[in-house]
């Protein structure tokens, strides 16, 4: 009979044998009161650097829990280096976007301020907490970076030359996604970013700004107009299927 895997927990501490990890008060509350773990119980630990390790709960106090690091379970492995550039949207939908983008394997999330962006502030700590929880649940060995919000003009001006740019656009010269992702320069790229617009889409002058990024590719996501969070998830899913790591099969 298949056994249920141990719970997973992200930590910023180094992971090595004979090392003890102290969790945050919020993590301690979750492990004690939600997961009902007690001294001697096992769990899995990861930090985005040292792979996944088995830990065992030791001392517990009212607001503290100590976990002994016992043995490695999985080595740290390379993941696709794909960013999601996205305009912040209403809280519930933006939370959903961060959660699903994390599950879909993004390495970084870059909030972008556009002309039609209605939400003008991003709470980085909240976004990171959502990403951590999604990484714990999706068996990832890393947590995506939440970058500081910048304007679309700044994004284009400082675009790294070694990162392929895919822009999701409803109109104009945009290619069907499947056709665009078959382009050799996208299939062979080791660093990629997908940029999606706000509710209402990019203004025409913003598309002109993005056209000046060398080798930027503009794609369409089918015949229907998608909501901003749906567009991000759809674009990442298609990219993973064609260019990403979905071909690697089932996780170990």
DSSP state of 87: -
CA distance 240 to 123: 27
Low-confidence ranges of the chain (pLDDT < 70): 1-4, 172, 248-252
Predicted local confidence at residue 60, as pLDDT: 85
CA-based Rg of the chain, rounded to a whole angstrom? 20
CATH 3.40.50.11060 for domain 81-248, yes or no, is: no
DSSP sequence for 26-61: HHHHIIIIIS---TT-EEEEE-SSS-EEEEEEEEE-
Predicted local confidence at residue 237, as pLDDT: 96
Predicted local confidence at residue 4, as pLDDT: 59
Residue pair 168/194 in contact by the 8 Å Cβ criterion: yes
Q: Where in the chain is the domain with CATH 3.40.1280.10?
A: 81-248
DSSP state of 140: -
Secondary structure (3-state) at 166: strand
| CATH number, span 8-74 | 2.40.240.20
Predicted local confidence at residue 84, as pLDDT: 98
Residue pair 228/87 in contact by the 8 Å Cβ criterion: yes
Predicted local confidence at residue 249, as pLDDT: 58
Q: Where in the chain is the domain with CATH 2.40.240.20?
A: 8-74
Predicted local confidence at residue 64, as pLDDT: 80
């Amino acid at each position: 009979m298949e056994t249920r895997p141990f719970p997973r927990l992200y930590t910023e501490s180094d992971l090595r044998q004979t090392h003890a990890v102290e969790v945050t008060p919020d993590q301690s509350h979750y492990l004690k009161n939600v997961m009902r773990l007690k001294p001697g119980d096992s769990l899995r630990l990861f930090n985005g650097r040292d792979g996944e390790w088995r830990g065992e709960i030791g001392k517990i106090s009212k607001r503290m829990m100590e976990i002994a690091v016992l043995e490695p379970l999985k080595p740290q492995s390379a993941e696709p280096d794909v960013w999601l550039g996205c305009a912040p949207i209403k809280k519930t939908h933006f939370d959903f976007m961060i959660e699903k983008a994390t599950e879909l394997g993004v390495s970084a999330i870059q909030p972008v301020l556009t002309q039609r962006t209605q939400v003008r502030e991003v709470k980085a700590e909240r976004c990171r907490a959502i990403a951590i929880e999604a990484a714990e649940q999706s068996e990832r060995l890393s947590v995506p970076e939440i970058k500081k919000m910048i304007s679309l003009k700044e994004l284009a001006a400082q675009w790294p030359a070694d990162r392929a740019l895919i822009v999701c656009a409803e109109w104009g010269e945009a290619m069907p996604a499947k056709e665009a992702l078959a382009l050799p320069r996208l299939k062979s790229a080791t660093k990629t970013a997908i940029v999606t617009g706000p509710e209402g889409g990019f203004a025409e002058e913003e598309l002109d700004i993005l056209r000046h990024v060398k080798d930027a590719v503009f794609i369409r996501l089918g015949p229907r107009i998608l909501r901003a969070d749906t567009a991000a998830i759809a674009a990442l899913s298609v990219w993973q299927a064609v260019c990403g790591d979905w071909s690697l099969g089932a996780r170990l």
